[in-house]
């Protein structure tokens, strides 16, 4: 039962009391809404490129294309990406946007408008890059900001768009991009800025062997050691990927309560490796699931990542490495912990926000699997019957309530072609 945006009761059986609306969930499994802990929604405009590249080569090819993004492209890609996430059972999404061409306007505000139109919760991670190629970084100088400009714009995004209320649908995090695109000053001062404003911290870390080598050569330490020197470990921090971690790094993340956004499909697509999810969980680190950017994970859906995470963990550690219920927990309670919202999201309990997904499991793809969680995780992608965010329907019978999917697809095709033409492709 729901009252307003909150769950008031949870139980089995038919409901026969008074209600303004009843959603029939027969044949379905009810779960908390999935929480996406890492994405780059603007990348929906550049899917299918650099198909055989590792991360560094992929970035070098795509940075010049992304330099042409604008306000309209960000609105269209955010709408399309969040629509796809909602249709795959996601109710809360963290997006890491770190490309801000000069004169592109308030892109975080644009994302907030798009999220409100689709109806999902958004954690906008205001990214930044200030280490261009002229200073030994990876991105071209044309797509980086100055340190002061990045910090000022991040502070402005927090002041204009961050809503700290328990029912918030829009929060902002401080999110310098990565060790190879951001100076130590921006990392250190960004952490201070976040803690002064009471918001969370997010960045990429330990994704590839190339990044590990970059940190050892430039800073004389591993990525996690570098992060710790700059104040980037703690229970208000979650890191994207965490693939290449030694035993000491896993222990430090667990001891400090630092979260990890596990992105199995993207890591596989780029050949980056497989995160030590079992070890991180055993160490006590919060671990959530991430789709990652749609240019490195072209499907852009979160529901299938439950299965991908389980299979990836078993590839590394054998069939007992991750259970179906643990995989579901990564996408729900684990993601809520990473975003600092485990008191509000991630489980179906009285008092929690009414973010709920009904997965249809009575079709051919799942028939005969008696354990419904096993059916959801081991089986093919389950059709989404309904998605509620704060008790309000966002998806019904597999269709978006507040947006037309055909229009989203047409707009996405148009802005993608325009962007590629601008880049001479």
Q: pLDDT by residue (tens digit) across 300-350?
A: 999 999 999 999 999 999 999 999 999 999 999 999 999 999 999 999 999
For the chain, give the number of residues.
425
What pLDDT score does 391 carry?
A: 97
According to DSSP, the residues that pair with 197 across neighbouring strands are none
The tokens 């009414």 sit on which residue?
354
Single out the residue of 370, 381, 286, 386 nearest to residue 331, CA to CA: 286
The tokens 């896993």 sit on which residue?
250
**pLDDT above 90 for 371:** yes
242-261 average pLDDT score: 98
**pLDDT above 80 for 17:** no
- Torsion-angle region of 420 (φ positive above 0: left; ψ -120 to 50: alpha; else: beta): alpha
Single out the residue of 124, 99, 128 nearest to residue 110, CA to CA: 124
What pLDDT score does 16 carry?
A: 72
- Work out the burial of residue 200: count CB atoms within 10 Å of its CB; fewer than 13 is exposed, 13-18 middle, 19 or more buried: buried
**pLDDT above 90 for 368:** yes
**pLDDT above 80 for 228:** yes
In our burial notation (b when 16+ CB lie closer than 10 A, e otherwise), range 244-258 reads bbeeebbbbbbebbb
C-alpha gyration radius of the chain: 20
**pLDDT above 80 for 195:** yes
201-210 average pLDDT score: 98
- Pair type for strands 392-396 and 399-400: antiparallel
According to DSSP, the residues that pair with 202 across neighbouring strands are 238
Count the neighbouring beta carbons within 10 Å of the beta carbon of residue 148.
Answer: 12
What pLDDT score does 20 carry?
A: 82
**pLDDT above 90 for 18:** no
149-157 average pLDDT score: 98
20-33 average pLDDT score: 92
Q: How far is CA 61 from CA 1, 51, 419, in A?
A: 50, 11, 14
- Please, what is the Cα angle at 328 between 275 and 402, to 5 degrees? 110
Using an 8 Å Cβ cutoff, are 236 and 174 in contact? no
pLDDT, averaged across the chain: 97
Using an 8 Å Cβ cutoff, are 65 and 410 in contact? no
The SS3 of residue 49 is: coil
Which residues contact residue 201 at a Cβ distance below 8 angstroms, ignoring those fewer than 6 apart?
Answer: 173, 174, 175, 190, 191, 194, 232, 234, 236, 237, 238
Euclidean distance between CA atoms 38 and 175, whole angstroms: 11
Binned at pLDDT 50, 70 and 90, residue 103 comes out as confident
* 235 phi, psi to nearest 5 deg: -80, 5
Count the neighbouring beta carbons within 10 Å of the beta carbon of residue 6.
Answer: 17
What pLDDT score does 234 carry?
A: 98
232-259 average pLDDT score: 98
What pLDDT score does 102 carry?
A: 87
What pLDDT score does 268 carry?
A: 98
Share of the chain above pLDDT 70, in %: 100
CA atoms within 13 A on the CB side of 206: 26
Tens of pLDDT, residue by residue over 89-101, are: 999 999 999 999 9
Which residues contact residue 367 at a Cβ distance below 8 angstroms, ignoring those fewer than 6 apart?
Answer: none
Strands (E), 299-423: 356-360, 384-389, 392-396, 399-400
Euclidean distance between CA atoms 30 and 28, whole angstroms: 6
What pLDDT score does 237 carry?
A: 98
Binned at pLDDT 50, 70 and 90, residue 11 comes out as confident
């Amino acid at each position: 039962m729901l009252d307003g945006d909150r769950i008031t009761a949870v139980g089995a059986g038919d409901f026969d009391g008074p209600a303004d609306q009843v959603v029939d969930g027969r044949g379905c499994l009810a779960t908390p809404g999935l929480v996406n802990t890492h994405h780059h929604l603007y990348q929906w405009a550049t899917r299918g490129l650099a198909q055989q590249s590792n991360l560094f080569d992929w970035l070098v090819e795509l940075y010049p294309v992304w330099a042409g993004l604008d306000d309209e492209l960000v609105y269209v890609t955010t709408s399309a990406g969040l629509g796809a996430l909602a249709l795959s059972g996601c109710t809360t999404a963290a997006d890491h946007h770190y490309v801000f061409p000069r004169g592109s306007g308030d892109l975080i505000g644009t994302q907030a408008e798009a999220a409100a139109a689709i109806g999902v919760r958004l954690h906008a991670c205001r990214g930044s890059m200030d280490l261009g190629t002229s200073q030994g970084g990876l991105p071209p100088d044309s797509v980086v900001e100055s340190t002061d400009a990045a910090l000022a714009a991040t502070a402005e995004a927090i002041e204009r768009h961050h809503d700290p209320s328990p029912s918030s649908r829009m929060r902002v995090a401080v999110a310098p991009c990565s060790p190879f695109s951001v100076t130590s000053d921006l990392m250190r001062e960004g952490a201070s800025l976040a803690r002064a404003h009471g918001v969370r911290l997010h960045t990429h870390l330990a994704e590839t062997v190339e990044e590990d080598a970059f940190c050892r050569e430039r800073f004389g330490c591993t990525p996690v050691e570098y992060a710790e020197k700059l104040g980037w470990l703690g229970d208000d921090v979650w890191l994207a990927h965490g693939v290449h971690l030694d035993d000491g790094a896993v222990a430090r993340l667990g001891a400090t309560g630092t979260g990890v956004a596990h992105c199995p499909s993207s890591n596989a697509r780029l050949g980056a490796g497989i995160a030590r999810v079992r070890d991180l969980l055993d160490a006590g680190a919060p671990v959530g699931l991430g789709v990652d950017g749609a240019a490195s994970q072209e499907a852009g859906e979160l529901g299938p990542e439950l299965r991908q995470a389980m299979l990836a963990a078993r590839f590394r550690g054998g069939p007992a490495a991750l259970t179906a219920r643990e995989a579901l927990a990564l996408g729900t309670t684990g993601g809520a912990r990473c975003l600092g919202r485990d008191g509000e999201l991630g489980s179906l309990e009285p008092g929690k926000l009414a973010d709920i997904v009904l997965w249809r499991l009575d079709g051919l793809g799942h028939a005969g699997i008696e354990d419904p969680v096993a059916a959801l995780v081991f089986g093919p992608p389950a059709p989404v019957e309904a998605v509620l965010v704060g008790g309000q329907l966002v998806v019904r019978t597999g269709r978006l309530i507040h947006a037309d999917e055909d229009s989203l697809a047409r707009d996405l095709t148009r802005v993608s072609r325009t962007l590629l033409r601008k880049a001479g492709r």
